[in-house]
Structure 1
Amino acid sequence: MQEFASHHAVPPAGLIRQLRPSDLPRFREHLLRLDPASRRDRFNGAINDNFLAAYAKRSFSEGATVIGYVEGDRVLGAAELHERAEFAEPTGEIAFSVESHLQQRGIGGRLFERLISNARGLGYSKLLVTTHPQNEAMKALARKFDAALSFDAGETVGVITLEPLRPLFVPTSGFAAEARMPSRA
């Protein structure tokens, strides 16, 4: 908990969990509560309320994975994983938002950890994160998770390569494994 002590005396009291389709209104309200700077950091530009409401609906209807930081009945932070099916290698694009009064308290890092775990479980081998060059917090967070950062068309682009999941059972050798299998006779 030392990570919180340098910024705030009280650590966040919520939990991190995957959001269900029934959480759509809470996710939408979270996005709508983002202040102008947080909206710019999350969406790389000025975004209006109508866009945010439509975006939240699209996230759930198009099968994105949305992990939320939840306190009581309110989503106050979110991490999203959107599939990028146009790439040959299983690739997802990730994005994060934390309401300004909770920023710099370790929530983004915990959301990032959970989202990476979910992405690995879904079989993704690469994750992309894009932000504007002035978003130092997002760039630092991406570096913490070994993102290779580059500058492209006015944006900072990060690529995180995920280790593949390990098989549950590893056969020792073809013949030896067959010899140990019980016969069905």
Structure 2
Amino acid sequence: MGMDASIACRTAGKVSRTIASLFPSYVKMSTEANIIMEQNKFYHIARIPKVIGVVDGTQIRIQSPGGNNAESYRNRNGYYSMNFLIVATADLKFMNVVERCPGSSHDATVFDHSDLKIRFALGHFPNCLLLASWFDDSDLMTVSVGLLRFDGLQVFDYIVVEPDR
């Protein structure tokens, strides 16, 4: 005998809300007190100064949302998804998650429309950099908000953000 569908839905909703309420306690950007510590950890790993996190996107599969914009959710692999942009520490902890863009969005586009880019542009993280493999060197605005392109360290980036690669 199975569980009634309405009970299962209510239970799943309660569990989801409980998990979501814990998000701010576990996912947060570095504070002034621990920025130097994060920079030292990344310097020890990659010998790049001022880095406090790595940035990459990952696709979370969803059902077709339907409607006129459904195809914007179809990613380059052909399935419907949301593009989640993750910032992670050297200790593999999430510092920031941006989850508002459809799967067809490039990681750089997600970052360009994020509160995190605004916070960097406003100087909330002085002398700090984020590493991103997709950063375009010609984008001077991105340079000013603390992104640094790296090619040789992509393996580290994918280990942190997308461990299933």
TM-score, length basis structure 1: 0.29
Higher relative contact order, chain-length normalized (CA < 8 Å, sep 6+): 2
Max Rg structure: 1
